[in-house]
Structure 1
């Protein structure tokens, strides 16, 4: 299977498969390098050089001789052998360079002449293209989570978590739950130096969450954790360790924490959930630390959708196109995607990254898909667009006036808006929390105008119904 995958991915078959429909080239259009079924990854040449290196290392281990003459003869033989090997190494190195040049010419031709700004044609074509472009090889001795997804090219199961939290409790471990209720694990995505953001959340909507659990409105298996990467700053690291000892709830991933590593971070979160919670909760809620969560709506959503197997829920992004620098302000640079990295005109449909739900049943399939697809640096595009496509996850996009996520509301959101969403970005958790508190204490009201012109006050205790396409 692996050999077949590499061969198909690295030769002319890939070229034809990657073409947009209706644009198959005539024979005279294909450059000479494309007419030959050569190994674009240059694997044969690389293997030969590896063998030569082993031979040279063996020759260096000359055994001790009894006489000066024996030593001189051995030295002459070693010099002669080394000279022959050096000539062969030079020839193979040149051959390898030419092979790499051919691969670059081939990829540039495909990119410039046929794929640039063509419609997105599926995750399998993206994988074939990127594997061929980078000459990627399967990782040996790593078993895929789902074998039919193909060979493993990303090691996504070896993350370490030097600061950790307890696993979600199983139903058998929960003794004070008088009746069963659905549960959710809340994965809060943070950064090493976001101390204020984490503390603000602890003092605002997490208080609502604790109240919900005390009232048994959600299963007692409901848990949360702040996920962050590592820092090179010793002072910040010391504060993180102190924060963990004081508050708990910190999961630190052994990886560099940066914007372009968000995809890797998201995969590490999935791996943690797989190890500690996926079999013990119904849903997983991924949320960034600059998002305010309406816990009342969180409860309504979980209780309404906990049985939605193989589903991912969120605010849909459709027809979004890559940012190509230059041509945009400098602060757009973090979203830059070159034509060589991604030649298609648009990304696949995906959900907005700051806040989305997935059923626990999709954690392993998404992780398996991330094993077999080349990464791109945008977590939401990769996990909720490409990996969901690969894994066959059912995408549930918010429809109507009520949504899982919404783009920024005013810091003091109007009552009718704050009751409509599960989460939205805020620049002040406390002010937003106060507005939400006032609404659910009936200090402020959501008043709507009916079709006949009359005013109607919405019952603040009425559950919100979330609809999806």
Structure 2
């Protein structure tokens, strides 16, 4: 009987070892390290290293698509466009900084009414500091919570890259409000940044109600935004909402020297779908999740706001106009009038292109108790 038990024990041991080897084989391409007791598992890729409230994810290096050079007219394109065509299939990059509990955890994220998602380059320290003290301050307003997250890539090379990454790490220790991935921070990678954020949001904040997605040089009256969103009938974030500075009937720029140049290889159509200017727009979590799902089957596109429009169009949804969001132009009626008169901004939701000092002053002035504005 003892011999039989020993044989059975050996058999079970061999089965267990076999199962462990199978797991190692399946996930061998994505080496992982654990420094937390509990790490959320999604396939073989999300085991992580956590330090200073940040999670580092490991991915295989994305390979260059050499066949992109075979497309017609490729040799006449700029280096930036060529590089995008070589690598625009790449969607997974190591995560350097993470705040997985920003929304209180995936199951409790419904406590967050408005999540501020702010695109910021590593060098823009002053802008981030200013926003933390003004419209992006995390707080309870009108009985609901506003939370903040900055999303960033990496810049420069060598020691300068290390210094900038260290800057973000120090900010993270103090504020716990930065998501950073190890991809090059550039205009053509803004879409990648958006898709990476949406993937993170689906994993960590899928029950928040609404999001403001914008640049770090906008003035956003987040008090007004909360009150506007609370006024919506029958929409607590569970229905479609995507509003901003609506752009319709726009055409791809075919001028080689333009920042917005799009070759036929990337977009053969002569017209873009309707979209909202990327400086800032508001959307429900329902719509954000729809966009993320659509993005899985749509190739990345260099212009991020147009890409959002592509995803909406594929889902059969449309962006909408809100006159309180101005990302292109904001007309002041006379050159003799102060363009930063708070009376022009106190009822707005968002205006693009503000210097940090002007944002600070405007935030204080629109909240002055004695501010009186005469409607003409």
Shorter-chain TM-score category?
A: 0.5 to 0.7
CA contact (8 A) 1:315 1:356 kept: yes
| Shift, 1:427, TM fit | 3.4
Secondary structure at the counterpart of residue 335 of structure 1: coil
> Among 134, 138, 163, which residue is 2:97 paired with?
163
Cα distance in 2 for partners of 1:365, 1:419 equals: 32
Deviation at 1:191, TM superposition (A): 0.7
Choose which of 433, 445, 467 in structure 1 pairs with 2:360.
Answer: 433
Match of 1:316 among 236, 246, 252: 246
Shift of 1:443: 3.6
Gaps of 5+ in 2: 1-66, 75-84, 333-337
2:268 equivalent to 1:374: no
Kept after mapping to 2: 8 A contact 1:182/1:303: no
Please show how residues 66-465 of structure 1 align to structure 2 within 5 Å: 156=91, 158-165=92-99, 166-169=101-104, 183-207=113-137, 209-210=138-139, 213=140, 216-220=141-145, 222-231=146-155, 232=157, 233-279=161-207, 281-305=208-232, 306-307=235-236, 309-326=239-256, 333-383=258-308, 385-398=309-322, 402-407=323-328, 409=330, 413-449=340-376
Shift of 1:351: 0.5
Question: Could you tell me how far 1:394 is from its partner in structure 2?
Answer: 4.0
8 Å Cα contact 2:114-2:226 kept in structure 1 = no
Q: Per-residue CA shift, 1:299-331, capped at 9, x if unaligned?
A: 2122123535022111101122222224xxx5x
Q: Is the 8 A contact 2:209 2:284 kept in 1?
A: yes
Give the aligned length.
285
- What's the CA shift for 1:195? 0.9
CA RMSD of aligned residues (A): 3.2
Q: 1:374 to 1:320 in 2, by over 3 A?
A: same
**Higher strand residue share:** 2
TM-score, normalised with respect to structure 1: 0.54
Measure how far apart 1:184 and its partner are.
1.3
Q: 1:183, 1:283 within 8 Å by CA — same for their partners in 2?
A: yes
Post-superposition CA distance 1:343-375 (Å, at most 9, x none): 333221110101111111122321121111122
- 1:248-301 superposed Cα distances (whole Å, 9 cap, x missing partner): 21111232211111111111111111111122x111210110111112212212
CA distance in structure 2 between the partners assigned to 1:172 and 1:368 by the alignment: 20
Distance 1:296 1:412, change over 3 A: farther
Distance 1:344 1:173, change over 3 A: closer
Deviation at 1:243, TM superposition (A): 1.7
Higher helix content, 1 or 2: 1
**How many angstroms apart in 2 are the aligned matches of 1:155 and 1:391?**
23
Secondary structure of 2:273 counterpart = coil
Give distance in 1, aligned partners of 2:106 and 2:314: 32
Greater C-alpha Rg: 1
Structure 1 residues 447 and 182, CA gap change in structure 2 (3 angstroms): farther
Specify the SS of the correspondent of 1:206. coil
- Per the TM alignment, residue 236 of structure 1 is displaced from its structure 2 partner at its CA by 1.3
